[in-house]
Amino acid sequence: MNWNEYFEMMKDWKKLPAYKAEPRIDSLVGFYLKDALTDFLGVEIIGIIPELPIRLATVKPQHESTNYADRSYKVDFYAVDENSKDYLIEFKTDSGSRRIKQDDYLREAQQVGIKKVIEGIFKIYQASSYKRKYEHLIKKLNEFQKIDLNGKFIGIEKKIEIIYFQPKTHNEDERCIDFKWFSNWLSEKYPNTEFEMEFSKALRIWGND
């Protein structure tokens, strides 16, 4: 396969008004994220989970007795390091797609803490018709030593860290992996492989979005 042609196509399509680049690129980012985060943070990341559900009533208790209580927001990636610290990672392919509402639920999740976030996931599981998918999620959280299979939190309560993964850093107070950093990381880590080099080049261009 000609990876240059593939990424040229992606660069072209990303310019179109209705093309959603984020769900096409997130699996590529996700594939490298564990190693990239380890180098970025200087601590070993032991696991990554995409699309972590944050129960609505967990972060907005006023909805606890409503029909909306077990609905959820989704965090693009959840990561855990070797010291049992938790990270919520919001991924954007266009800087202009950041939304205040998204920032709010990340901060709300940070404020309530990982214990309540994970207990909220178990409550969604109990109410959900997607039992097998939630059982797989609970199994992964159990492997990360966060929850037992009966829904009891067994982890260590530490402050959640929020990380933005986006084209550019806009707020110096935020922890951010920008596309330039990730592009450099790919080219240094995989200097002799066509796919990673072409991906790195595309990221440098998208870093201006």
In the chain, how long is the greatest CA-to-CA distance? 56
Tell me the CA distances in angstroms from 149 to 35, 136, 209, one per residue in order. 28, 11, 43
DSSP H or E run through 47: strand 45-55
- Note the pTM of the prediction, 2 decimals: 0.92
Could you identify the residue written with the tokens 């490298």?
Answer: 32
* Token couple for 21: 């680049």
CA distance linking residue 122 with residue 145, whole number of Å = 15
Q: What percent of the chain has pLDDT over 90?
A: 77
Per-residue pLDDT reduced to its tens digit, 43-98: 999 999 999 999 999 999 898 889 889 999 999 999 999 999 999 999 998 876 66
- Which pLDDT band holds residue 1 (cuts at 50, 70, 90)? confident
Residue 99: pLDDT above 80?
Answer: no
For residue 113, pLDDT over 90 is answered with yes
What are the pLDDT digits (tens) for 136-194?
999 999 999 999 988 899 999 999 999 999 999 877 778 999 999 999 999 999 999 99
Q: Find the Cα–Cα–Cα–Cα dihedral 115, 80, 126, 124, rounded to 10°.
A: 80
Coil, strand or helix at 70: coil
